[in-house]
Amino acid sequence: MSSFRQSVAWWCVQSKTNDPAHLMRKIRAIGYQGVELLPPELWETARQAGLTVTSDSVPPIEKGLNRKEHHAAVEAEFRVRAERAAKLGVPNVIVFSGNRDGLDDEAGCLATIEGLKRLAPIAEKTGVTAILELLNSKVDHKDYQCDHTAWAARAIEAVGSPKVKVLYDIYHMQIMEGDLVATIRRHIKTIGHVHTAGVPGRFDLHGPLQEINYPAVMQGLKEAGYTGWVTQEFMPKGDAVESLEKAFALCSV
């Protein structure tokens, strides 16, 4: 039995099946309760498999809230997605800072705060949480600005809304800063959602070359009082179901 509701990022496993409904039923049988980042045409398939769709997102990653000229477009798209999410029981919509593109971190954070404040009333009205995602800027998302937990937490604290939180991605933050458990404890009040993957490579959570001790990190989350979703966002090297079974066990504390 897991202390957390666990979910699966669909983009990581979609290439492993020609029958989404069958794979979703397998995912549910393991013990997962959710699936996320899947096309809306599969949301009903997920529901029929007994899975909650746990998040949608506002693209693109590269152009987000760190520049005021993007605020109106992000707000409009967030409104559409949040209203749809609320109708269909999807609890979160992911938003992004965007890339630096020469912008210093202070100016980017201030603009992101302003942008999140525009989203907060929509989130509060719909009951859907806007989650600002942490990504690494070393390997996967070069030049992305929201790449350290303290930066993201500062923005969330400045907004001060229970419906605006951080998406703490363990994989990305291991690459950027490590010190995972202490960081989680320090910023737990700002964390609204969690993603996983193995480091290095974004593959399975188990294996001799994976450097993250997931049972320890999960225990740290539990002791810090985290009660949200934990989503597996790794690319299985082999059989998806076997990999997801092992990941579910590793994250069950």
Question: 135 — phi, psi (to 5°)?
Answer: -135, 155
Q: What is the pLDDT along the chain (253 residues), one digit of tens a residue?
A: 678 999 999 999 999 999 999 999 999 999 999 999 999 999 999 999 999 999 999 999 999 999 999 999 999 999 999 999 999 999 999 999 999 999 999 999 999 999 999 999 999 999 999 999 999 999 999 999 999 999 999 999 999 999 999 999 999 999 999 999 999 999 999 999 999 999 999 999 999 999 999 999 999 999 999 999 999 999 999 999 999 999 999 999 9
Q: Can you identify the CATH homologous superfamily of domain 5-250?
A: Divalent-metal-dependent TIM barrel enzymes (3.20.20.150)
Whole-number CA gyration radius for the chain:
17
What per-residue confidence (pLDDT) applies to 3? 82
The set of residues, in sequence order, having a beta carbon less than 8 Å from that of 128 and lying 6+ positions away, is 82, 85, 86, 90, 91, 92, 93, 163
